[in-house]
Structure formats: structure tokens, C-alpha cells
Amino acid sequence: KPFLLKEIIYQGYATNIKSAKNYFESKDPAIYDILEKVVQQYPILLNRAPTLHKLSILAFYPVLTDDIAIHLHPCVCQGYNADFDGDAMGVFIPLSKKAIEEAKTYMLPSQNLLKPADGSLIAIPNKEMVLGLYYLTTIDVDKQDLDNKSKKAFGSMKEVMIAYELEKVELREPILLKKESKIIETSVGRVILNLKLPESMRFINYVIKATNLKDLIKKALGKMEQIEVANLIDELKDLGFQASTYYAGASFSVLDCIIYDKKEQIVKEAEEATAEIEKTICRAW
């Protein structure tokens, strides 16, 4: 609030603290524009108890919303051990120049991609994001057995995207693509993924799973600055969500669960064994 009052006076909406407070309480729409400007100067610290390691308190540049819930980037949830069932978080504002500089230099998520305990990656796409990337990079089972004569051929990734936008080729259909001096078999989905990667890391031509996605980002850490890797993680996160919703429309129900055919027999045997143990205990007493 004090920083907001200072900016109100600075921009000429008030001449002193008292009139600035009155203007603030008037809820004039211009106050929200002033607030947007103020929050850009102050990274806030977000903490989730228990604070077990340094990833339990990170710095963020806030994005203002109309509701009262904290919107958290999905790739930092693992470090916080956070989920979305009513977790409470503490919000703090660094005030001094030194504190602000420290938050910017050391506490932003882009500077905390690795787990302090063992140096492994912790801020990576997971869950629905990986599901989307998996769907995007798999080949349609109905078209896996097409021979090369039946596959559409393209001279560049740009050509592939133009054909896809014109609905001349399907997302998970196997295609032939000229890559440097070689002809490789791939799919539109894999081309979309590679367009998100820096040129030095292309061409990824396999199905993306949680394990090899981690290896991919590790490889990026060896070639790029941390801020660039953080941007890549963000790109993959967006693509994963888009693929799992817009492209795949993936949804699971109880009908997708395979029930073991001998389940009833196993449960019955376990119940009989339990009853026998209880009977033996009763005799002992």
C-alpha cells in the first residue's frame, strides 16, 4: 500500500498522503493501472509450510487477477510439495533494495531448476503436460503399418505445418521428412514438438515420456543458460496442456480401468486367511 500511495502522488492523482489515501479508497479504475505498474518493480516471495528446503520459498513477479485464489505455475508444485486441495501459502514483499536484488538474483524459479539434495531436475513438466506430449509424439496405431509409398513426403518442417493447417495430413500420421541429407520417418506431432526446441537440439524423433523428457531438459541445461532452459520448460508446459486438451481431449473413466479377472478369488482367500488369524488370536486369549 505505501508504494501504491507513493505512485498515486507521483502520477499527480493526489498532492499528499492523506489525499492519496482518499483516492485509494475511492476505488477509481486508474488505481488498478497504477498497481499493475507497481507490482512489476517488486518480486514477491511465496512460501508454503513446512519450509523443508530452499524450494519451499521462491520469488515470483505477480500477475493480478480478479479472484482470491493463488494461481501457481504447475512446474514449481513439486518443489513446494503443493497440490490444489486448499493449501495455504504465505505471501511476503521484500522491501529493501538489497532484498529485492537477492530475490531477483537467487530466488526466481528460473534460478532454481535443480533439487538441492542431489542436483536432479525438479521444475519439469509432469502429469497432464507429459500426457499431452506423449499423445503428440505417438504414431496412430491404425496407420503404423503404412508402407513408404503410402506416406506423404515433405521437404521441410514448414511444409509439414502448412499441410497440417490445410488439413492435408493428420497430427499422428506417419510421414517422410527430408532432414539435411537424410529422409526420416516422423509425424506432424513430432514436428510441432521440435519447432518448440532450439535448433541445436533438433531433431527429436521418439515418443516423449516422463523419463526421457527429464533427459531432454538435462541436455538443454548443458547447452543453454538457465533462463533459456526455464523458457523451454514453459514452452513444453504450454504445448503439453494444449496437446492433452485441444488435440487429445484425454479423459479417464472407470471403464478404462482393467479389473483383474481373479480379483474376487484373491479377495476371498485374503478374507479367509484374515478370519483364521483372528480366530487363532481369540484362542490365545
Report the pLDDT value the prediction gives residue 253, as an integer from 0 to 100.
85
**In this structure, what C-alpha cell is assigned to residue 263?**
480379483
Question: Any idea which fold 2-111 has?
Answer: Barwin-like endoglucanases (2.40.40)
Q: Where are the domains of the chain?
A: 2-111, 128-247
Q: Can you list the residues of the chain whose pLDDT is less than 70?
A: none
| pLDDT value, residue 215 | 92
Q: Is 15 helix (H, G, I), strand (E, B) or coil?
A: coil
pLDDT in the model for residue 97: 92
pLDDT of 217 reads 94
Class of domain 128-247: mainly alpha
DSSP string for residues in 107-147: ISGGG--B-TTT--B-S---THHHHHHHHHHSPPGGGTT--
pLDDT of 251 reads 81
